[in-house]
Structure 1
Amino acid sequence: MTEIRHVVFDIGKVLIHWDPEIPYRRLIPDDNERARFLTEICTPAWNAEQDRGRAWAEAEDLLIADHPDHAEMIRAFRVNWPEMVPGHLEDSVATLEALLDAGWDVTALTNFAGDTFDVARQRFAFLDRFRGTTVSGRIGLIKPDRAIYDHHATAFDLDPGATLFFDDTMANVEGARAAGWHAELFRDADGLRADLRRYGVLPA
């Protein structure tokens, strides 16, 4: 196996919790109505365009034009975004910090809107410990597009064949592999540590 010299982490659902249902359980108590709103109006695909760099005001205006009766709930998505992030995944962050303390080269590659990433940085000090972070919303590229992996590798002088990436979405893992990286699907901290041991990053 190629010696790993660089470790790259996704952030959402790997190091910090993110669940848009949290504020909407309060805002839309009916389970069926809430599910319809989050799957048919403020959809994951709609939110992904903010991760690609679209401004929230533009995103809201476009959606409200199609769903004027839901204007208040649409605007509530960004207003209540901090509530969607109730905390960090303690075991994952402990593993990250152990790698950093041991001197490993660790960076982050995340699909995140630029402004909400700044909100997260203010809350989670460990996000400033990476050697560097590529935030999709700031460069107009998004996982799993090949270009964002190439951008990250170039920006931080990574050898793709010596890079190990962790992400909670299989499409993003496959995108990294297509770019020549080693990549594994994150399920939980135990699996993360097992993969790190398998690649020789952590002691067996």
Structure 2
Amino acid sequence: MSAIVVFDFGGVLFDWNPSYLYESLLPDPAEREWFLREVCNPAWNIEQDRGRTIAEAVALKSAEYPAYAAQIAAFYARWPETLRGLLPEGMALFDALRAAGYPVFGLTNWSAETFPYAWEHYPFLHTLPDIVVSGREGLIKPDPAIYHLMYQRILRHHPAAKPADLYFIDDSAANAAGASAVGWHGIHHTSAANTAAILRAEGLIF
């Protein structure tokens, strides 16, 4: 069985960063850093990736920081401004692997309510045989259950696939380690060049 590659999206293929939006909403760097660390922070955002609704998330955080209610609401009301498009180097790696014939899938921590924007605006997503979106499943990386779910989806297309055939590329070291813990090859993506070198060292030819 040839290798199967599973891509994370944010930080690997997509250039997503809340700072892109808040540079205009909170122009003072110190205030902006505090806000993204203490208010609309990763711990809050990941719960939407786990399946919590945006309405609930905004209401909870606005009650906690009422003086910043407008800025909190903007996180999702103006969410497209946090996404600056695709990362060319990551997409070049994606394209090269596909051109070489390797099956490619997607596994992303992403809110079910914002993922449709990406689906509508980035047609390459439609070419993937399957994508597991955490917010739709109520699971997030690095929970082993989400990797098992991705594996079951892959088996629909490649019934002979073994966990050891899967190579998972994620910019989070913890998420890459989560893949390794279930028998995949987890690759911590620090650059497209480094990831390509790791894949080639593992025997992938592209």
User: TM-score range with shorter-chain normalisation?
Assistant: over 0.9
Is 1:102 matched up with 2:105? no
Cross-structure match for 1:169: 172
Q: Extract unaligned runs of 5+ from structure 1.
A: none
1:80 and 2:83 are equivalent in the alignment? no
Q: How does 1:38-53 map to 2 (within 5 A)?
A: 38-53=36-51
* Moved beyond 4 Å, runs of 4+: none
Q: Which stretch has the larger CA shift, 37-46 or 156-165?
A: 156-165
Q: Measure how far apart 1:49 and its partner are.
A: 0.3
Post-superposition shift, 1:4? 4.9
Distance in 2, matches of 1:34 and 1:173, equals: 29
Q: Deviations over 1:84-136 (max 9, x none)?
A: 11121112112212222332111011000012111112222222222210000
Separation in 1, partners of 2:89, 2:38: 34
Structure 1 residue 5 displacement after superposition = 2.1
SS of match in other structure, 1:86 = strand
Instruction: Give TM-score scaled by structure 1 length.
Output: 0.94
Tell me what 1:22 maps to. 20
What SS class does the counterpart of residue 108 from structure 1 fall into?
strand
TM-score between the two structures when normalised by the length of structure 2: 0.93
Give the aligned residue type for 1:199: E
Distance 1:140 1:134, change over 3 A: same
Number of residue pairs aligned between Structure 1 and Structure 2: 201
- Structure 1, residues 3-35: CA drift from partner, whole Å, max 9, x if none? 752111000010010110011010001111111
